[in-house]
Each structure stands twice: as structure tokens, then as C-alpha cells.
Amino acid sequence: MREFAERTLVPIITRDMERLIYTLCGIKKPRRILEIGTAIGYSAICYGFAAPEAEITTIEVRERSVYKARANIEEAGLKDRINVIHGKAEEILPDIEGYFDIIFIDAAKGQYRKFFDLCEKNMTHDTLIISDNVLYKGMPCDDSFIDERRNKTISRRMKDYLSFLSEDPRFETSLLAIGDGVALSYFK
Ligand code: SAH
Ligand code: MG
């Protein structure tokens, strides 16, 4: 899968991020996981193996990716525990019910705050929120890394999102330089 992703430029989690997921799931032993941004199912499968007791709900907007993800999940033998929902996260999230032990945010990089707000109703005082790619190739830290106009907006939004996560007193956040940057937040 990793080779396919590299060939087709699907931005899946890095190897070190994968290790982090195993470590966090090993400690937390999650039973319900919500993922925003499935792509071809790589990270969902990773959570599936890392958290053998978890039911995983994952949302993906691209139809072709949904098919690919479902096929990969079936091949991994995780069809019964991973549910791939096709649609825009902003439209699907309002209908998602119940609390999750882990919420993994890894879809459109400029919309993390919106995704976060939409799943706040699914967080409890035990929820770990993992936001991937928050350093966005360094752009939120240093404007000279910004290559395209579009990325300027994404970079600004990501910066705002990181400020929100670190300043809102309801959350405890730490930022790790793993993969493309990951924020671990805990709903206190
Ligand atoms: N989590 C995956 C990678 C996800 S890449 C892994 O590590 O294996 C980001 C994915 O989010 C892409 O497949 C993209 O199609 C999807 N996406 C982007 N915007 C979205 C939205 N608004 N709702 C749902 N999915 C979205
Ligand atoms: Mg990612």
C-alpha cells in the first residue's frame, strides 16, 4: 500500500507517525475511533491493527478513494471493524453520534478548525484528538516555505488552528515534529 501511495502521490501517514499511532493505541486501548480523511485506507488499517478492540468510522469525500479504501480494508481482514463513509466531512459529521476515544483529523488542511468544531459534540473528557500534518511542510512557521498562493491561506488557517489548540483552556496540546507535524490534544 505504501508503494502504491507513493506512486500515486496519496499523502499517507509517515512511518514514524505509524509508530506513534501504535504507541498511543497501546496506552489508550481505544474502543471507538473517528477518522476524517481516509484516502486509500492506510491509516485506518493502521489504527485497526494498533487497536484490536476498536470500531473505526472514517470519512472520505473522493469516491475512487472510498472504493480503494474499502478493497484494502477487506484485504486486511478489517471489514467488520472499519466503516468507510463516503461524503464531505462537513456534511457527515453533524450526523455522527456518540463519543470517541480517538479522533484523527487528516483531511483538507485548511479546514481543521471546522472539522474540530463539528466533532466537539463527540468528545468527552477522555478523548485524544490527533491532528496530522499541522506543520504543513514548515509553512505555518516560516513564510519563506510557502510556494503557492493557495498554500498561503492553508498555512494561515493551520497557524490559527494551532493557536486555538494551544490557547483554549479546555484542551491540553503538545506539538510533535513527527511526520509532517502532529498535534496531540486532550480534552481536559
Ligand atoms: N489518513 C490517510 C491520508 C488522508 S489524505 C492516511 O494517512 O492513510 C487526505 C484525504 O482527505 C484525501 O483522500 C482527501 O480526498 C480527503 N478529504 C479532503 N477534504 C475532505 C472533506 N472535506 N471531507 C472528507 N474527506 C476529505
Ligand atoms: Mg496526513
CA atoms within 13 A on the CB side of 40: 18
Amino acid at 142: D
pLDDT digits (tens, 9 = 90+) for 72-118: 999 999 999 999 999 999 999 999 999 999 999 999 999 999 999 99
pLDDT digits (tens, 9 = 90+) for 53-77: 999 999 999 999 999 999 999 999 9
**Does 12 contact ligand 1 (Cβ within 6 A)?**
yes
**Does 114 contact ligand 1 (Cβ within 6 A)?**
no
Alpha-helical regions (H) of 8-143: 15-28, 42-50, 63-75, 89-92, 112-118
**CA 2–ligand 2 middle distance (angstroms):** 13
**CA 187–ligand 1 middle distance (angstroms):** 24
Q: Which ligand 1 atom minimizes the distance to the CA of 37? A: 11
The pLDDT value given to residue 31:
98
Q: Which ligand 1 atom minimizes the distance to the CA of 17? A: 7
Kind of pairing, strands 128-132 and 182-187? antiparallel
**Fold (topology level) of 2-187:** Rossmann fold (3.40.50)
Q: Which ligand is nearest to the CA of 178?
A: 2
Global pTM value: 0.96
pLDDT digits (tens, 9 = 90+) for 138-184: 666 667 666 777 778 888 999 999 999 999 999 999 999 999 999 99
Q: Please report which helix (H) or strand (E) contains residue 149, including its range.
A: helix 149-167
**Does 42 contact ligand 1 (Cβ within 6 A)?**
yes
Q: CB neighbours of 109 closer than 8 A, spacing ≥ 6?
A: 133, 136, 154, 157, 158
Strand order across the 55-60 sheet = 82-86, 55-60, 32-36, 102-105, 128-132, 182-187, 171-176
